[in-house]
Chain A
Amino acid sequence: MNGAQSRARNPHSTMKYICLGYIDPKKFSSASETEMNAMMDSCFAYDDQLRANGHFKGGEGLQPPNTAMTLRYTNGRVVVTDGPFAETTEQLGGIMILEARDLNHAVELISKHPGAKFGPWEIRPAADLGEMVRQSEARRRQAGKPKG
């Protein structure tokens, strides 16, 4: 029977979600070395599992905010300052590109991530800029054409 499934999602169709993992430094400062190691091991083991299942499409850990530089366009030129834009209790610790079937699947995958115990995760769908890029390319081709 055809049943309720004829509109079902394609088994191979997935979406990309950018997951921003935050760290609460206070939670780290009180941890012993053994605790830190256990936490790292559990995070990397889970990342490996995501890789094995094809969900992990890239990602990096970030060095602390005091290693950052911020660029800002001010009064017609770029002004460079050291440090992050804002100091907050929770710092961005890493980003991950996650491939999931839908938002609930992404939530489910990340909620099992051991890193969630050390700070919040933000999950955002990747924006599809394809159409915007195509339109921009058309505008730039038009602008490059000789006049007359």
Chain B
Amino acid sequence: MSEPPTVDIRAHLDAVFRGEAGRILASLIRLLGDFDVAEDAMHDAFNAALQRWPAEGLPANPRAWLISTARFKAIDAIRRRTRFEASQDDIADTLHGGEPAAAAGDDELPDDRLKLIFVCCHPALAPDARAALTLREVCGLTTEEIARAFLTSAPTIAQRIVRAKAKIRDERIPYQVPSRAELPERIGAVLAVVYLLFNEGYSASSGPSLTRAELSAEAIRLGRVLLELLPDPEVIGLVALMLLHESRRAARISAGGELVLLEQQDRSAWNHALIREGVALAERALATRRFGPYTLQAAIAAVHAEAPAPEATDWRQICALYAALLAMQPSPVIELNRAAAIAMHEGPAAGLALIDALVARGELRDYHLAHAARADLFRRLGRRDEARAAYAQAHALAKAEPERRYLEKRVRELS
């Protein structure tokens, strides 16, 4: 019994892969200067480990062993290829044209993964390609898994990824963390991808719900990696926002698959561990006094999360947070949300006046939620005919099935 059985080695290797593949790949891209070469090399190294570790025993530092083995495999593969394929010289060029591999050594650098995230979310790439590339290269999902999550076909996703990688190569998009001057804008692009992934998994009401929930979980994991590597106030704010939304997942859909509004949710079904963590992060981001829109949205979500019942909500504070958000990021949708908060704080008439003015301006004329909000305020004021007409208008504009069912129910209740 001197050698560990092969099964154990395999299980150990699987664990190393799950925990370290992202870091190893990120280091290899830095060392080898090419996504595809790095990916192949990493998988060759894992295969080599599967063959050699059972006989040779576990190396002292498995990650370093894998990175150095992968690097040798890649250089080997490129030499073999250049023997018969002159045109492959450009890959060898890329390999040597990247960062000074020899000087950097084989070990990972702590910000390798951060570089990988910044490359995958580079503004030069098409926005839908950024999300797909991040899921595949940073999170390790397969093309097929990404396609299922986005309810699209695998060839569509594959093409986005191929084009994005070609663009990274052709335009020589640098594999680096952006300079301090570029950082705010570039972080913005990264956070937009993370939040898009989260919302894809959170708000979509169609498709296999399990896969979609995993997409939100993936976004939160990615957010946590960013939080560890780059604790910028807006990174903290976005993680807080995602955790606070996630805390309500179980309560926001009824057993029959209907959407349940915040007011009607069973607050005991909220995940209070996530709320505690989200609230603490939101407070941490606010304390920096350098926060942005994600932090303010997280703060609003935190106020809701801390109210034991809807009537205990601190609407005054929510109105103030919306005013700050609006000053930072003027948008008619945020104005609408602020008007709804004012209606709760100062009464339905005050909110209605604001929404009417907003709709009169034209931007929200075709936005179903603006009409639903008006309808709701008419109802609370006892103006049933106007409420019914506004609900009908909202219903005519709404597209998602659960929302349409909810609006139909409201119209029926007033008839």
Return A131 CB to nearest CB of chain B, in Å.
Answer: 17
Within 8 A of A (CB), among B185-221: 214, 217-218, 221
In the complex, A15 Cα to B154 Cα: how many Å? 13
Binds B, one of A80-88, A98-106, A132-140: A98-106
* Cβ of A42 under 8 Å from chain B: yes
Contact B162 A104 (CB under 8 A): yes
B133: nearest chain-A partner, CB-CB: A104
Q: Which residues of B contact A (CB under 8 A)?
A: 10, 13-14, 17-23, 36, 39-40, 43-44, 46-47, 50, 77, 80-81, 83-85, 88, 113, 136, 138-145, 154-155, 157-158, 161-162, 214, 217-218, 221-222, 224-225, 228
Contact B144 A11 (CB under 8 A): no
Contact A8 B18 (CB under 8 A): yes
Q: Knowing A9-B142, A12-B50, say if A103 contacts B19 (CB, 8 Å).
A: no
Contact B162 A5 (CB under 8 A): no
A109: nearest chain-B partner, CB-CB: B40
A1: nearest chain-B partner, CB-CB: B228
Q: Knowing A11-B46, A12-B50, say if A102 contacts B21 (CB, 8 Å).
A: no
Interface string of A96-126 (1 = CB under 8 A from B): 0000011111011000101000000000010
Return A34 CB to nearest CB of chain B, in Å.
Answer: 14
Q: Which of B36, B138, B214 contacts A4 (CB 8 A)?
A: B138
Contact B22 A15 (CB under 8 A): no
Q: Which of B14, B138, B143, B228 has the most CB of A within 10 A?
A: B143
A41: nearest chain-B partner, CB-CB: B84
Contacts of A10 in B (CB 8 A): 14, 17
Q: Which of A5, A45, A46, A112 contacts B19 (CB 8 A)?
A: A5
Q: Knowing A42-B85, A107-B162, A114-B85, say if A4 contacts B222 (CB, 8 Å).
A: yes
Contact A7 B141 (CB under 8 A): yes
In the complex, A105 Cα to B141 Cα: how many Å? 12
Q: Knowing A7-B214, A42-B84, A105-B39, say if A54 contacts B17 (CB, 8 Å).
A: no
Contact B43 A103 (CB under 8 A): no
Contacts of B19 in A (CB 8 A): 1-3, 5-6
Contact B144 A5 (CB under 8 A): no
B22: nearest chain-A partner, CB-CB: A5
- What are 20 A-B pairs with beta-carbon distances under 8 A? A3-B19, A3-B225, A4-B139, A4-B222, A4-B224, A5-B17, A6-B18, A7-B217, A7-B221, A10-B17, A11-B43, A12-B50, A49-B80, A49-B81, A53-B40, A53-B44, A103-B144, A103-B155, A104-B158, A112-B88
Contacts of B40 in A (CB 8 A): 53, 108
Q: Which of A3, A8, A102, A112 contacts B144 (CB 8 A)?
A: A102
Contact A3 B22 (CB under 8 A): yes
Return B382 CB to nearest CB of chain A, in Å.
Answer: 51
Q: Knowing A11-B46, A108-B36, say if A103 contacts B158 (CB, 8 Å).
A: yes
A3-B113, A4-B139, A5-B19 known; 5 new pairs, CB 8 Å cut-off, are A2-B19, A3-B22, A3-B225, A4-B113, A9-B141
Contacts of A1 in B (CB 8 A): 19, 225, 228
Contact A6 B221 (CB under 8 A): yes
Return B406 CB to nearest CB of chain A, in Å.
Answer: 32
In the complex, A102 Cα to B40 Cα: how many Å? 12
Q: Which of A4, A9, A54, A125 contacts B47 (CB 8 A)?
A: A54
Return A45 CB to nearest CB of chain B, in Å.
Answer: 5
In the complex, A110 Cα to B221 Cα: how many Å? 33
Contact A45 B142 (CB under 8 A): no
Q: Which of A5, A7, A42, A103 contacts B143 (CB 8 A)?
A: A103
Contact A11 B13 (CB under 8 A): yes
B142: nearest chain-A partner, CB-CB: A102
Contact A8 B143 (CB under 8 A): no
Return A36 CB to nearest CB of chain B, in Å.
Answer: 15
Contacts of B143 in A (CB 8 A): 102-105
Contacts of A3 in B (CB 8 A): 19, 22-23, 113, 221, 224-225, 228
B39: nearest chain-A partner, CB-CB: A105
Contacts of B84 in A (CB 8 A): 41-42, 45-46
Q: Which of B18, B39, B136 has the most CB of A within 10 A?
A: B18
Contacts of A11 in B (CB 8 A): 13-14, 17, 21, 43, 46
Q: Which of A9, A11, A46, A114 has the most CB of B within 10 A?
A: A11
